[in-house]
Amino acid sequence: MNGLQLKTQFELLTKFLKSCSVVNADGTLLYSKDQGPHHLTTTRLVAFQIVKKYLQPQPHDFFVLNDPENGGFQYTKLIFISALQPNLYLIWDEDFDAIDFKIPPTPLYDKGARNEFVWKALIENRSYSSALERFIVAQKAKADALLKMPQLLDLVSSAKNQQDWLKVSQEVFNVLFNTKAQSCGEAYFKLAPTQMIKLKLTVEEKQNVKMFVLDLTNTNLAADFHSASHIFESAAIKKIIDFYGWAEFFNQSILDKIKVILPPRSIVSKPHAEGLHNISIQAIASQLCEHLLTQFNNPSRKTHTMFQYTNFLSFKVQAGTAYYNNLITKQSATLDCVEELANLQKIEVKSMRRLESRSHVLFEVKSNDGIVLTIQNKYDIEGSDIKFKVNGKPQTCGVHKLAKSDSVEISWDF
């Protein structure tokens, strides 16, 4: 098979998944993509290794987990692992916002048969049982749809094709590596006077070995703001892959060229029990990498600038059993909640305008049951164009319970 044919097979296999990785029995990454706002490539690899080590997956087994201290991201992000063939595993993640408990690596299906004991313990006796059951069944259906394509699975799981595919990616890596500058630089993000994430990035070719080294040795030890190492790694790797244009060929051949040095128990290598800071740390990782790569490739090398964190706001709204994810960045705003809640008469929109380069929305809670609003990232009130106020007062990261008649005002530059 030629390079195009191999690439096409992996694209087909992952066609209907937004964020997923394909690995073989050895855990070699064959393909990975992250099309959502969060990046989980190495997170999914960690999840697979845990499942492989402790649960010895067999073909047609199907696992789930969400434990941020054991290969997960956050409770609401479920990671599924499907053993498609002895030499082929698919790992993907999907959000189910109602989940508020830890799921360790759990076998939901054993060789295609539902594990009734686990099913009962996981799904029954919850206020959202039926929605959770539908969600999990839909995820299983994704694996089942692929199992109906044995020809494709045979092609992708063939050891020879996998070797050829890794070689193709290696070649692509070599070609595109040479299109960008080699350099070394540092940037840091200060959380507090004694809390800093410091990244030294080296892009170099030594003795015919092309490498990226992300050295975080000078990052401080964790206090109350920290995440697992795979959280930082996944975001940094994603930025490098996108910057060089390797996304379509991303596999172990390229992953092996990115070395990450993380001091133990530091801000970027100490898992948080609920993964509360993961979104913020991914944003910092991504922005630090982008800053350095842009600096390296800036034609006027003399104009080195200090790293400046670009603020954004990620917040979740819960109204009864419905959840809405909202994100405002410098480039775009996606507010899922406002229109739907207004149509359901849970809120009343008092103002919604987009004038003079600024968007503004003001709504009042109408629902007697109230609304829960959670700001999910470390959001800098002072240094931001984004204003978020509840009853006229600016709000920061955390959970805000809103009662009837409370007002929420959000404004941002567009």
Residues lying near another protein in the complex (CB under 8 A) are found at 2-5, 8, 11-12, 15-16, 145-146, 148-149, 152, 167-168, 171-172, 175-176, 179, 245, 332-336, 338-339, 342-343, 349-355, 359, 361-362, 414
Alpha carbon distance 336, 202 (integer Å): 40
**Per-residue 3-state assignment (H helix, E strand, C coil) for 196-242:** EEEEEEEEEEECCEEEEEEECCCCCECCCCCCCHHHHHHHHHHHHHH
- The count of other CB atoms within 10 Å of the CB of residue 135 is 18
Q: For the chain, first and last CA: distance in Å? A: 47
Residue type, 407: S
Q: Could you tell me the smallest distance in angstroms from the CB atom of residue 27 to another protein?
A: 25
Tokens of 61: 């087994």
Q: Could you tell me the smallest distance in angstroms from the CB atom of residue 414 to another protein?
A: 6
Tokens of 312: 């954004």
Distances (CA, A) of 165 to 159, 171, 303: 10, 10, 40
Q: Could you tell me the smallest distance in angstroms from the CB atom of residue 100 to another protein?
A: 26
The 347-355 sheet, strands edge to edge: 347-355, 358-365, 407-413, 387-390, 393-394
Q: Could you tell me the smallest distance in angstroms from the CB atom of residue 173 to another protein?
A: 11
Q: Which is nearer to another protein, 306 or 355 (CB)?
A: 355
Q: Which is nearer to another protein, 173 or 189 (CB)?
A: 173
Q: Which is nearer to another protein, 7 or 378 (CB)?
A: 7
Alpha carbon distance 385, 383 (integer Å): 7
Distances (CA, A) of 394 to 59, 366, 370, 387: 52, 21, 19, 7
Q: Which is nearer to another protein, 256 or 340 (CB)?
A: 340
Q: Could you tell me the smallest distance in angstroms from the CB atom of residue 387 to another protein?
A: 15
Q: Could you tell me the smallest distance in angstroms from the CB atom of residue 350 to another protein?
A: 7
Q: Could you tell me the smallest distance in angstroms from the CB atom of residue 145 to another protein?
A: 6
Alpha carbon distance 48, 29 (integer Å): 11
Contact 61, 111 (CB under 8 A): yes
The 195-206 sheet, strands edge to edge: 183-192, 195-206, 209-215, 258-261
Q: Which is nearer to another protein, 70 or 174 (CB)?
A: 174
Q: Which is nearer to another protein, 134 or 301 (CB)?
A: 134
Q: What is the CB-side half-sphere exposure of residue 350 using CA atoms within 13 A?
A: 11
Q: What angle do CA 24, 215, 248 make, to 5 degrees?
A: 40
Q: Which is nearer to another protein, 5 or 310 (CB)?
A: 5
Residue type, 99: I
Q: Which is nearer to another protein, 153 or 268 (CB)?
A: 153
Q: Which is nearer to another protein, 334 or 391 (CB)?
A: 334
Q: Could you tell me the smallest distance in angstroms from the CB atom of residue 246 to another protein?
A: 10
Q: Could you tell me the smallest distance in angstroms from the CB atom of residue 245 to another protein?
A: 6
Question: Any idea what DSSP says for residue 372?
Answer: E
Q: Which is nearer to another protein, 50 or 319 (CB)?
A: 319
Contact 242, 236 (CB under 8 A): no
Q: Could you tell me the smallest distance in angstroms from the CB atom of residue 110 to another protein?
A: 24
